[in-house]
Structure 1
Amino acid sequence: MKGKYAVGNFWQKFVEGQDNYEAFSDIYNLYINDLLSYGISLGFSEETCRDAAHDVFFNIFTEKKRLSSVKNPTSYLFRSFRNHLFNIQKRQNRLSSDFMFEKNTFTTEITILDTIINEEENQKLKNLVEELLKELTPRQREAIYLRYMQEMDYEEIALLLNMNANSTRRLVSRGIENLRNKALNGDNESFTVLLFVLLISYNL
Structure 2
Amino acid sequence: MESRSETEQLRQWWTDTLAGNTDAFNDIHKALFDGLYYYASKLLNDNGLADDAVQELFVKIWTKRNSIGNLEKVKPYFFTVLRRQILNQLRSLKLRELKIKMSVEPDICFSIEEIIVEKETEESLHTKLTALLNELPARQKEAIYLRYYEDMEYKQIAEIMNVNYQSVLNLIQKALNKLRSEQLLAVFLAAVFICE
Q: Using a 3 Å threshold, how does the CA distance of structure 1 residues 155 and 195 change in structure 2: closer, same or farther?
A: closer
Which residue of structure 2 lines up, in the alignment, with residue 47 of structure 1? 48
Deviation track 1:5-58 (CA, whole Å, cap 9, x = no partner) reads 314313323323479333322221222222222122123422222111111111
- 1:157 deviation in Å? 1.9
- 1:130 deviation in Å? 0.7
**Higher-RCO chain (CA-CA 8 Å, sequence separation at least 6):** 2
RMSD: 3.5
Structure 1: gaps of 5 or more residues = 185-190
Amino acid at match of 1:142: E
Match status 1:136 vs 2:136: yes
Match status 1:197 vs 2:190: yes
Contact 2:132 / 2:179 at 8 angstroms: preserved in 1? Answer: yes
Q: Using a 3 Å threshold, how does the CA distance of structure 1 residues 132 and 24 change in structure 2: closer, same or farther?
A: same
Which residue of structure 1 lines up, in the alignment, with residue 108 of structure 2? 107
Aligned length: 191
Q: Using a 3 Å threshold, how does the CA distance of structure 1 residues 183 and 26 change in structure 2: closer, same or farther?
A: farther
Contact 1:43 / 1:104 at 8 angstroms: preserved in 2? Answer: no
Q: Using a 3 Å threshold, how does the CA distance of structure 1 residues 42 and 195 change in structure 2: closer, same or farther?
A: closer
Amino acid at match of 2:127: N
Partners of 1:183 and 1:32 lie apart in 2 by 35
Which residue of structure 2 lines up, in the alignment, with residue 177 of structure 1? 177
- 1:140 deviation in Å? 0.7
Secondary structure of 2:13's match?
Answer: helix
Contact 2:117 / 2:195 at 8 angstroms: preserved in 1? Answer: no
Partners of 2:15 and 2:102 lie apart in 1 by 32
Partners of 1:4 and 1:138 lie apart in 2 by 30
- 1:120 deviation in Å? 4.4
Amino acid at match of 2:166: N
**TM-score, reference length from structure 1:** 0.74
Query: Which deviates more, 63-72 or 138-147?
Result: 63-72
Q: Using a 3 Å threshold, how does the CA distance of structure 1 residues 51 and 138 change in structure 2: closer, same or farther?
A: same
The 5 Å alignment of 1:73-84 reads 73-84=74-85
Contact 1:146 / 1:152 at 8 angstroms: preserved in 2? Answer: yes
Partners of 2:102 and 2:73 lie apart in 1 by 23
The 5 Å alignment of 1:1-204 reads 3-17=3-17, 20-93=21-94, 102-110=103-111, 113-114=113-114, 117-118=116-117, 120-121=119-120, 124=123, 126-183=126-183, 194-195=187-188, 197-198=190-191, 200=193
Q: Using a 3 Å threshold, how does the CA distance of structure 1 residues 61 and 4 change in structure 2: closer, same or farther?
A: farther
Contact 1:2 / 1:30 at 8 angstroms: preserved in 2? Answer: no
Structure 2: gaps of 5 or more residues = none
- 1:196 deviation in Å? 5.9
Deviation track 1:68-96 (CA, whole Å, cap 9, x = no partner) reads 4322112111111111112222221299x
